[in-house]
Amino acid sequence: MSEQFHFFSLPLEIREMIWTYAVPDRIVEVGQPGDPDVLPASDLKKAWIQNHKPPTVALICKESRDIAMKSSGIPRGGFTSFAKDYQYWLKSTKTIHFNAEDESELDMPMNMWLENDMLDMLKVVRRGKELSISADLIQPFIRFHNPSSCSGLMQHVLFDERVACTIALQTVMIKATHAQARRFGLFGGGDEAAQLVDPEDDETLNKFKDLWILSDGSHDMTAAKFFETVGGPRFDFRIKRWRAELAVKFIQWSLRFNPLGAPQLTHNAAQAIQWLRQNFDLRQNHAVQELLDDFPEFKLRIMFRLCPPRARRNMIM
């Protein structure tokens, strides 16, 4: 069996060329998560967009981040040039994964910037790029997580644009080393900071569970609860409920912003909403499906985050 290739065995000059030109095929975030060793269980469902750090290719690895900083010309520290500078960096990306900061800590001007940034993210879609956002921005997947005050705005824009969008339902932190990730063939052989996985991909989910067990992550209650429920009836119930709740909001939006016209259709919409709230499985009902003809394509995913010991000791700044 041939020896496995490791990216970091390449000379620095070659790696820099690859980072510079291969970034469009990578998951990109604006901002970074806080230290997972000190955050409460729910906090990793919020990565940051406005955290007093310049926008960069965050947490892919320090090397790629530094190259992004050099190539974009974005200044270190502060965000006085945030609005005009980050679009230069953003335009070359293919997939954007975007989570919102805890809005309770934002003042009014920052809230306005946050809303503007979300709208700017959708310019990525209009350029034919793919958008990926946290479920928390449109309809929280976790019940104890409070809805974002921007959720109505995001729902309106997504419903109006009818865009295909990847939804990160939940973020699960894996505190493993790069070598451990390579052993399981996950996180791009240990070089990627994040991996989005279909919740129905049992084979890959089992690999992540094995990696989590190997990394002695049993003390991480958030990951433990996830692996206890994923693939089971409780998790399937949550996915069905999330889909049904978003379908209800889409039908309500259609009645308000794109009136269905005939009184009979309005009656059908009211009846469909009642059905969906009583039984999530009725989303497959023919009458309900007619009302969801223009429903955007949402690809549901679980986001796994690699947090090796080195990153936990010294967060990438």
Per-residue pLDDT 10s for the chain (317 aa) are 445 556 667 787 887 777 666 554 444 444 334 444 433 333 333 333 333 333 333 344 556 556 655 554 444 443 334 333 344 334 444 444 554 444 444 455 554 454 455 555 556 556 566 677 778 777 778 766 666 666 777 777 778 777 778 888 888 888 888 889 889 999 877 777 778 899 989 999 999 999 998 886 666 777 888 888 888 888 888 888 888 888 888 888 887 766 555 445 566 777 788 777 777 776 667 777 778 778 888 889 998 888 776 544 333 32
Of 144, 146, 169, 134, the residue nearest 46 (C-alpha): 134
Cβ atoms within 10 Å, residue 246: 23
Any idea where the domains of the chain sit in the sequence?
7-232+299-313, 234-295
Residue that is written with structure tokens 């946050």 in the block: 114
Strands 194-197 and 298-306, by their bridges, are antiparallel
Helices 151-161/108-126 angle, 10° precision:
20
Give the per-residue pLDDT at 210: 92
Give the per-residue pLDDT at 93: 43
DSSP-assigned letter for residue 42:
T
Cβ atoms within 10 Å, residue 58: 24
Give the per-residue pLDDT at 271: 77
How far, in Å, CA of 196 to CA of 194, rounded?
7
Cβ atoms within 10 Å, residue 4: 9
Instruction: Supply the DSSP string of 81-122, one letter for each residue.
Output: THHHHHHHHHTT-SEEEE----GGG--HHHHHHHHHHHHHHH
Give the per-residue pLDDT at 46: 38
Q: What is the pTM of this model?
A: 0.64
Q: Are 138 and 154 in contact (CB under 8 A)?
A: yes
Element (H, E) at 149: none
